[in-house]
Structure 1
Amino acid sequence: MKQSFWMLALFLFSLSTSAQYDPSKIFVPDFYQHNGNTFRSASGKPSADYWQNEADYTVKVAFNVETRLLSGDVTIDYTNNSPDDLDALWLQMDQNTTKNEARGNILRNPNGKPDEKQGYRITKIRLTREGKTKEVPFIVDGTRMQIRLQNVVKPKGKIQLAIEYSYELLPRGGGWRSGYMDDENGKIFEFSYWYPRMCVYDDYYGWNTLPFIGGGEMYLDYGTIDYQITVPADQIVIGSGILLNEKEILNSKTLDRLDKARKSENIVFIRSSEEIKNPVTKNNSGNVTWHFKMENTRDVAWAMSSDYIWDAAKINLPSGKTALAQSVYPVASTKNGRAWSRSTEMLKYSIENYSQRWFEYPYAVASSVAGSVGGMEFPGLAFNYWDVEPYMMFLLASHEIGHTWFPMIVGSDERRNPFMDEGFNTFMNVYAQADFNNGELAPKRDGEYAPNGGNPADEIIQVIKDAKDGPTLMTPADNQNYKFVHPLAYFKSAFGLVLLREVILGPDKFDYAFRQYIKNWAYKHPRPEDFFRSMDNGSGEDLTWFWQGWYHNNWQLDQAISKVEYTEDKETNGIDITVTNKRQMVMPILVSVEESNGKTHNFTVPVDIWKYGADAKFHVNTTSKIKRVLLDAGHQVPDIDRANNEWKG
Structure 2
Amino acid sequence: MNKLFTLTGLMAFAGSLAMAQNIQNNPGSNHGNKFEQLGTILPTPNEQRTASGAPGVKYWQQRADYNIKCTLDEKNLLLTGSETVTYTNNSPDPLTYIWLQLDENEHSTDKSANYQDATKMPAVGTTQSIDNLSSTANNGFGINVLKLTDATGKKLSYTVNKTMMRIDLPVALRTGQKYIFNIDWNYKITDRMSVGGRGGYEFFPADGNYLFTMAQWYPRLCVYSDFQGWQNHQFTGRGEFALTFGDFKVQMTVPADHLVGSTGECINYSAVLNPTQLSRYNSAKTASAPVEIQTLAEAKTAESKKATGTKTWIFQANNVRDFAWTASRKFIWDAMPQKIAANNNTVMCMSFYGKEAYNLYSKFSTRAVAHTIKTYSDYTIPYPYPVAQSIEAANGMEYPMICFNYGRTDADGTYSESTKNGMLGVIIHEVGHNFFPMIVNSDERQWTWMDEGLNSFVEYLTEELWDNTFPSKKGPAYTIVDYMKLPKDELEPIMTNSENIARFGPNAYSKPATGLNILRETIMGRELFDYAFKEYSRRWAFKHPQPADLFRTMEDASGEDLDWFWRGWFYGTEPCDIALDTVKFAKADFPTTIPEARSRMIKVDKPAVNAFQDISKIRNREDKKISFYTDKTPAAQDFYYKYDRGLVSVDTATAVKTVGSVPLDVVPAADQQKYENKFFYELNFSNKGGLVMPIIVEFTYKDGSKDIDRIPAQVWRHNELKTSKFYVKDKEVESILIDPLRETADIDTSNNTWGGKAKESKFKVFKAKAASSVRGQSVGVNPMQKAAGK
Q: RMSD value over aligned CA atoms?
A: 2.4
Instruction: Find the counterpart in structure 1 of residue 109 from structure 2.
Output: 100
**2:227 equivalent to 1:208:** no
| One of 631, 643, 647 as aligned partner of 2:738 | 631
1:468 is displaced (CA, Å) by 2.2
* 8 Å CA contact 2:330, 2:353 repeated in 1: yes
Question: Judging changes above 3 Å, is the alpha-carbon distance between structure 1 residues 327 and 21 closer, same or farther for their aligned structure 2 residues?
Answer: farther
Instruction: Find the counterpart in structure 1 of residue 161 from structure 2.
Output: 141
CA distance in 2, matches of 1:103, 1:110: 15
Query: Whose Rg is larger?
Result: 2
Structural mapping, 1:406-445, within 5 Å: 406-436=436-466, 438-439=467-468, 442-445=470-473
1:151 is displaced (CA, Å) by 1.5
Residue type of the alignment partner of 1:548 = R
| One of 558, 566, 571 as aligned partner of 1:547 | 566
| One of 697, 706, 723 as aligned partner of 1:616 | 723
Question: Judging changes above 3 Å, is the alpha-carbon distance between structure 1 residues 624 and 277 closer, same or farther for their aligned structure 2 residues?
Answer: closer
SS of the counterpart of 2:493?
coil
Residue type of the alignment partner of 1:609 = V
Instruction: Find the counterpart in structure 1 of residue 635 from structure 2.
Output: none
Structural mapping, 1:160-179, within 5 Å: 160-172=180-192, 176-179=197-200
Per-residue Cα deviation, 1:534-588 (whole angstroms, up to 9, x for no partner): 1111111111111111111111122122232246756615323222222320111
CA distance in 2, matches of 1:463, 1:511: 27
* 8 Å CA contact 1:143, 1:212 repeated in 2: yes
| One of 512, 522, 546 as aligned partner of 2:541 | 522
Residue type of the alignment partner of 1:329 = Y
Instruction: Find the counterpart in structure 1 of residue 170 from structure 2.
Output: 150
CA distance in 1, matches of 2:111, 2:735: 62
| One of 589, 593, 600 as aligned partner of 2:699 | 593
CA distance in 1, matches of 2:578, 2:387: 49
| One of 372, 375, 390 as aligned partner of 1:368 | 390
TM-score, normalising length: structure 1: 0.90
1:444 is displaced (CA, Å) by 1.4
Instruction: Find the counterpart in structure 1 of residue 37 from structure 2.
Output: 29
1:75 is displaced (CA, Å) by 1.0
| One of 487, 497, 505 as aligned partner of 2:506 | 487
Per-residue Cα deviation, 1:5-47 (whole angstroms, up to 9, x for no partner): xxxxxxxxxxxxx999833332123434433211001000101
TM-score, normalising length: structure 2: 0.74
SS of the counterpart of 2:243?
coil
* 8 Å CA contact 1:308, 1:331 repeated in 2: yes
CA distance in 2, matches of 1:466, 1:380: 38
1:190 is displaced (CA, Å) by 1.1
Instruction: Find the counterpart in structure 1 of residue 753 from structure 2.
Output: 646
* 8 Å CA contact 1:327, 1:344 repeated in 2: yes
Question: Judging changes above 3 Å, is the alpha-carbon distance between structure 1 residues 211 and 479 closer, same or farther for their aligned structure 2 residues?
Answer: same
Structural mapping, 1:22-61, within 5 Å: 22-32=30-40, 33-61=42-70
* 8 Å CA contact 2:164, 2:234 repeated in 1: yes
Residue type of the alignment partner of 1:509 = L
User: Which is worse superposed, 195-204 or 572-581?
Assistant: 572-581
SS of the counterpart of 2:233?
coil
Residue type of the alignment partner of 2:156 = V
1:149 is displaced (CA, Å) by 2.3
Per-residue Cα deviation, 1:354-391 (whole angstroms, up to 9, x for no partner): 1223221111111111224x211001111112526311
CA distance in 2, matches of 1:99, 1:258: 40
Residue type of the alignment partner of 1:125 = L
1:324 is displaced (CA, Å) by 0.7
SS of the counterpart of 2:282?
helix
CA distance in 2, matches of 1:23, 1:488: 27
Per-residue Cα deviation, 1:596-628 (whole angstroms, up to 9, x for no partner): 355533121111111110322223231232212
| One of 100, 115, 135 as aligned partner of 1:91 | 100
1:636 is displaced (CA, Å) by 1.0
CA distance in 2, matches of 1:92, 1:466: 37
SS of the counterpart of 2:519?
helix
CA distance in 2, matches of 1:487, 1:622: 41
SS of the counterpart of 1:254?
helix
SS of the counterpart of 2:708?
strand
CA distance in 2, matches of 1:27, 1:65: 60
**2:273 equivalent to 1:244:** no
Residue type of the alignment partner of 1:487 = P
1:114 is displaced (CA, Å) by 6.6
| One of 681, 688, 693 as aligned partner of 1:575 | 681
Instruction: Find the counterpart in structure 1 of residue 364 from structure 2.
Output: 342
CA distance in 1, matches of 2:484, 2:535: 30
SS of the counterpart of 1:342?
helix
Per-residue Cα deviation, 1:36-95 (whole angstroms, up to 9, x for no partner): 211001000101100000011111011111001111211110001001111111110101
The gaps in structure 1 that reach 5 residues or longer are 1-17, 447-454
Question: Judging changes above 3 Å, is the alpha-carbon distance between structure 1 residues 381 and 90 closer, same or farther for their aligned structure 2 residues?
Answer: same
1:640 is displaced (CA, Å) by 2.1
Per-residue Cα deviation, 1:446-495 (whole angstroms, up to 9, x for no partner): 5xxxxxxxx943342221233623322111221233xx111111111111
User: Which is worse superposed, 348-357 or 629-638?
Assistant: 348-357
* 8 Å CA contact 1:90, 1:198 repeated in 2: yes
* 8 Å CA contact 2:695, 2:711 repeated in 1: yes
**2:390 equivalent to 1:382:** no
1:175 is displaced (CA, Å) by 5.7
CA distance in 2, matches of 1:21, 1:458: 30
Question: Judging changes above 3 Å, is the alpha-carbon distance between structure 1 residues 603 and 143 closer, same or farther for their aligned structure 2 residues?
Answer: same
**2:298 equivalent to 1:289:** no
* 8 Å CA contact 2:700, 2:733 repeated in 1: yes
CA distance in 2, matches of 1:114, 1:149: 34
CA distance in 2, matches of 1:542, 1:112: 56
SS of the counterpart of 1:123?
strand
Question: Judging changes above 3 Å, is the alpha-carbon distance between structure 1 residues 100 and 346 closer, same or farther for their aligned structure 2 residues?
Answer: same
Instruction: Find the counterpart in structure 2 of residue 605 from structure 1.
Output: 711
Structural mapping, 1:457-496, within 5 Å: 457-466=477-486, 468-469=488-489, 470-481=491-502, 484-496=503-515
Instruction: Find the counterpart in structure 1 of residue 636 from structure 2.
Output: none
Instruction: Find the counterpart in structure 2 of residue 504 from structure 1.
Output: 523
User: Which is worse superposed, 464-473 or 387-396?
Assistant: 464-473
User: Which is worse superposed, 208-217 or 570-579?
Assistant: 570-579
| One of 379, 382, 391 as aligned partner of 1:357 | 379
CA distance in 2, matches of 1:367, 1:253: 21
* 8 Å CA contact 2:396, 2:405 repeated in 1: yes
CA distance in 2, matches of 1:619, 1:632: 18
Structural mapping, 1:175-324, within 5 Å: 176-183=197-204, 184-185=206-207, 186-276=209-299, 285-319=308-342, 320-324=344-348
* 8 Å CA contact 1:99, 1:105 repeated in 2: no
Question: Judging changes above 3 Å, is the alpha-carbon distance between structure 1 residues 328 and 559 closer, same or farther for their aligned structure 2 residues?
Answer: same
CA distance in 2, matches of 1:78, 1:112: 40
* 8 Å CA contact 1:101, 1:112 repeated in 2: no
SS of the counterpart of 1:621?
strand
* 8 Å CA contact 1:26, 1:584 repeated in 2: no
* 8 Å CA contact 1:596, 1:625 repeated in 2: yes
Name the % identity: 34
Instruction: Find the counterpart in structure 1 of residue 349 from structure 2.
Output: 325
CA distance in 2, matches of 1:526, 1:366: 23
Structural mapping, 1:65-144, within 5 Å: 65-105=74-114, 107=116, 113=136, 115=138, 117-128=140-151, 132-144=152-164
| One of 529, 553, 563 as aligned partner of 1:534 | 553
